[in-house]
Structure 1
Amino acid sequence: MKCIRIGSGAGYSGDRIEPAVELAERGGLDYMIFECLAERTIALAQRAKSADPAAGFDPLLEDRMRAVLPACRRGGIRILTNMGAANPLAAAEKVRDIARSLNLTGLKVAAVLGDDVLDRIRAGAYTDDTGRPISRFGERLLSANAYIGAAPLVDALAQGADVVITGRAADPALVLAPVIHEFGWAMDDWHRLGRGTLVGHLLECGGQITGGYFADPGYKDVPGLARLGFPIGEVHEDGSAVITKVTGSGGRVTPATCKEQILYEIHDPRSYITPDVVADFSGVRVEALGPDRVRIDGAGGRPAPASLKVSVGYLDSYLGEGQISYAGPGALARARLALDIVAERLRMTGVQARDLRYDLIGVNALHGDGLSAGAPEPYEVRARVAGRADSLKEAMRIANEVESLYTCGPAGGGGATKSARDIVAVVSTFLPRDEVKTSVHFRVS
């Protein structure tokens, strides 16, 4: 039975680069994916593109491509990535220019367009997932990107693309596309598409499945995390797969690491909705074949949904934040006093803020006072105040009150930081799939 090897070179925008180089040089790959796009990331990228038409793609695109293109070209490894973010065409042009600078001639780079549906959302009467109209954001609306599926990526591969760059494609589609292309699966073979989507879901987060997100000292020990190897999927024509990694690399692939990744960000294992298929993971079988080799089988699928999810980004408000540390005897009491002082100052000076948080990092910042009650008093603690405001100036007033504790607050405060920035938030809506038109554009080095 035919088998292809797909490596995951990144699980998020800022991921490590050297594991991808290791995959390119030693992984024996046919394909490599780079999954680098979060929902809020594309809204930020759209804003960057508005300021500069040549911007709007992943900031590490150039570093990643310079690192892996030579080895991928030598090994015939084809690349698929969503690093195009808000500007896949500019990203493709950048990759072409990088290839030329590396004397890699004849490299065919495809940009997949069509996920940007901002104009349609602005013009229509759409509501978000709470039922409220998208139009309420007005000029604060920054982006609207539909989750497209594997079909246009398959088209790009069929036309000979060596590198395929998308914007908001569904994460598993980066893996599903080469599988469909290599094995000639029909786009309505729901059973196989469900299986391929499972493989994509397993690989999309990079080092999570090789032990990174899994590690918990004393309970789930993982060796070599400082040089964590990224995963490889050996995908067979029937959609079954073996998850592994480069021999000798750090990390671990076990049934447990795979099971955790199967459940990661899954609401209903029987109905994992993607643009390509409604996948069913409820019957998945996980079997250890040997060290760092786990066989995955048993997924299924049902027909794809009639609508596509659209991620809508908008300017929500401004965040002001300040932090300061206290240590030694009485650190907790001094930190609590610091928060009380700031709270009173914000009231006294009339700061217009909402959603204010007063946290003691190391004490109650994650789980609140309820779970932290009765815990041993820490030797050191960091006080944090944060809140939202309707202007950058007002947000900065929150941060300034924390910094003023240097001289106006309890004894021994140090390491104060302050910041104020805008908050880009995301809501979701849906479009009929036939209203999302994709296209493929080539650049050749």
Structure 2
Amino acid sequence: MNVIRIGAGAGFQGDRLAPAVDLAERGALDYLVFECLGERTIALAQQERISNPAGGFDPLLERRMRAVLSACRKNGTRIITNMGAANPLGAAERTAQIARELGLTGLKVAAVTGDDVLGMIGDYVLDETGAPAAALRERLVSANAYIGVDGLVSALEAGADVVICGRASDPTLFLAPLVHEFGWARDDWTRLGRGVLVGHLLECAAQITGGYFADPGVKDVPDLARIGNPLALVDATGHAIITKLPGTGGRITRATCIEQLLYEIHDPARYLQPDVVADFSNVTFEERAPDCIAVAGGDGHAATGQLKVSVGYRDGWLGEGQISYAGANCVARGELAVALVRERLKPLAASIREDRGELIGVNSVAPQAISATHVPEVRMRYAARCDDAETALRVGEEVEGLYLAGPAGGGGARSHQRPILAIASTLVPAAEVSATVVMKEVLGETA
């Protein structure tokens, strides 16, 4: 195969479905990739699986698979996704069930496991805490390594039509089919680096077609309401064309590509990945036609031999409340509301680890971001990280108490409390983490 067509079906767990369906139906794709995991996403999935062993995979998996499986099967498009989250086996089984219901006999669904390293993480020091993971004791919820292409490629070589994994690095989902189709050597650092580049450009889906890029009057994007997801045409050298389907909204330009290239990158010359250290320092973008950008350059170097591990742990409770003030002097009234809640919570100080009072629209993102004298309304938010649920409840109650025991004109108060799931990270030797592939074939009524 001279060129591989890969489409981005999703860039995060809650991404829109319509662009993925359009790609499945009209994209003439070889692969459709759904990248749906973040650091907290998989930790939350692991927490869910503790209470529901049959769960722990992406809550939108069923909706997405029902929407695209038939079209992908008809068009010869293979699906790769990390929607397995904390339970790739369960996700594969559910996908196989959906395929049977849709009459898609002969479909092969693979689960790739091995990223769950909770059982081996205890002695490794966490960057954020400076202590071994075992020090968290019963607070430790999850530990998932960012695995590379090995398990995914093995699944593809075994003939999988759908490959479902848990925590792999985001670009790995796109790199794996390129390694499989083109037979790239595992030490062909240049091609592997370019494959990571393609994956990085596609992994956030509509972000590169103008979503998140859009800024009215500064960076206008046409027909944003019907924005399409991107696809890439990749050749055996790893060079690519980034484009989108005709008739879809959005825009792909050198500017959208450059923004995405630099997104979440610490050092463009050393983007650490499981299979390669990618080098984006000499990447070029050339506009060949409207919404058609040629990507060249890109390189790579030997992998570090270590894998990042995302560790989730319980870290107390969040208590939060919000209330609005409008009209003349609303900022001063909002500031008074913050001061009152903080003062009234002082008796609970021993159970509050940190707190924050802010006025949304004035100082919630940047201190005194705009002139406080011209603000027509503010939303006061008070939040605290607490040791227990009862203290967290009291935080919200004090905000709601401002209705009658606070400044004039407060309205629209609400409050909530929830357990906090914090994230830390460490590195483990790649040699200690191995992937396993479990294949499920849809055989019809007798399956």
**TM-score band, normalised by shorter chain:** over 0.9
TM-superposed CA distance for 1:132, in Å, is: 2.2
1:49–1:56 CA contact under 8 A, matched in 2: yes
TM-superposed CA distance for 1:224, in Å, is: 1.2
Cα distance per residue 1:110-155 (max 9 Å; x no partner): 0001000101113xx2101243221221100000111100111111
Paired residue secondary structure (1:179): helix
Alignment of 1:410-429 (within 5 A): 410-429=407-426
Q: Bigger shift: 424-433 or 80-89?
A: 424-433
1:351–1:394 CA contact under 8 A, matched in 2: no
Q: Distance in 2 between matches of 1:349 and 1:7?
A: 52
Q: Distance in 2 between matches of 1:202 and 1:52?
A: 35
In the other structure, the counterpart of 1:330 is 329
In the other structure, the counterpart of 1:87 is 87
Paired residue secondary structure (1:336): helix
Q: Distance in 1 between matches of 2:54 and 2:77?
A: 27
Paired residue secondary structure (2:121): helix
Q: Distance in 1 between matches of 2:414 and 2:106?
A: 50
TM-superposed CA distance for 1:294, in Å, is: 0.1
**Is residue 166 from structure 1 mapped to residue 165 from structure 2 by the alignment?**
yes
1:24–1:68 CA contact under 8 A, matched in 2: yes
Q: Share of identical aligned residues, percent?
A: 60
Q: Distance in 1 between matches of 2:336 and 2:42?
A: 40
Cα distance per residue 1:182-215 (max 9 Å; x no partner): 1111111111000000000000001000000111
**Is residue 69 from structure 1 mapped to residue 66 from structure 2 by the alignment?**
no
TM-superposed CA distance for 1:354, in Å, is: 2.6
Cα distance per residue 1:326-355 (max 9 Å; x no partner): 112222222122112111111256573132
Alignment of 1:236-255 (within 5 A): 236-255=235-254
Cα distance per residue 1:58-109 (max 9 Å; x no partner): 0000000011111111101000000000000000000000111111111100
In the other structure, the counterpart of 1:58 is 58
Q: Bigger shift: 129-138 or 307-316?
A: 129-138
Q: Distance in 2 between matches of 1:351 and 1:406?
A: 26
**Is residue 393 from structure 1 mapped to residue 390 from structure 2 by the alignment?**
yes
Q: Distance in 2 between matches of 1:346 and 1:179?
A: 57
Q: Distance in 2 between matches of 1:20 and 1:336?
A: 45
In the other structure, the counterpart of 1:129 is 127
In the other structure, the counterpart of 2:280 is 281
In the other structure, the counterpart of 2:445 is none
Alignment of 1:5-404 (within 5 A): 5-122=5-122, 125-130=123-128, 131-348=130-347, 352-369=351-368, 371-372=369-370, 374-404=371-401
Q: Distance in 1 between matches of 2:397 and 2:58?
A: 33
Give the letter for the 2:403 counterpart. Answer: Y
1:188–1:303 CA contact under 8 A, matched in 2: yes
Task: Compute the TM-score of the two structures, normalised by the length of structure 1.
Answer: 0.97
Q: Distance in 2 between matches of 1:350 and 1:98?
A: 52
1:137–1:314 CA contact under 8 A, matched in 2: yes
1:324–1:416 CA contact under 8 A, matched in 2: yes
Paired residue secondary structure (2:412): strand
Q: Distance in 1 between matches of 2:411 and 2:64?
A: 38
Paired residue secondary structure (2:5): strand
2:10–2:33 CA contact under 8 A, matched in 1: yes
TM-superposed CA distance for 1:411, in Å, is: 1.8
2:331–2:372 CA contact under 8 A, matched in 1: no
Q: Distance in 2 between matches of 1:435 and 1:70?
A: 38
Give the letter for the 1:271 counterpart. Answer: R
Give the letter for the 2:233 counterpart. Answer: E
1:351–1:397 CA contact under 8 A, matched in 2: no
Cα distance per residue 1:334-392 (max 9 Å; x no partner): 212211211111125657313211100011110023x44x4442111111100111001
2:171–2:198 CA contact under 8 A, matched in 1: yes
Paired residue secondary structure (2:16): coil
Paired residue secondary structure (1:383): strand
TM-superposed CA distance for 1:26, in Å, is: 1.1
Greater than 3 Å deviation, 4+ residue runs: 348-351
1:351–1:398 CA contact under 8 A, matched in 2: no
Give the letter for the 1:128 counterpart. Answer: L
Give the letter for the 1:399 counterpart. Answer: G
2:313–2:422 CA contact under 8 A, matched in 1: yes
TM-superposed CA distance for 1:419, in Å, is: 0.6
Q: Bigger shift: 406-415 or 276-285?
A: 406-415
Q: Distance in 1 between matches of 2:139 and 2:248?
A: 46
- Number of equivalenced pairs: 441
TM-superposed CA distance for 1:4, in Å, is: 1.0
Give the letter for the 1:423 counterpart. Answer: I
Task: Compute the TM-score of the two structures, normalised by the length of structure 2.
Answer: 0.97
Structure 2 regions of 5+ residues with no counterpart? 443-447
Give the letter for the 2:184 counterpart. Answer: W
Paired residue secondary structure (2:351): coil
TM-superposed CA distance for 1:231, in Å, is: 0.4
Instruction: Give RMSD over aligned pairs.
Output: 1.2
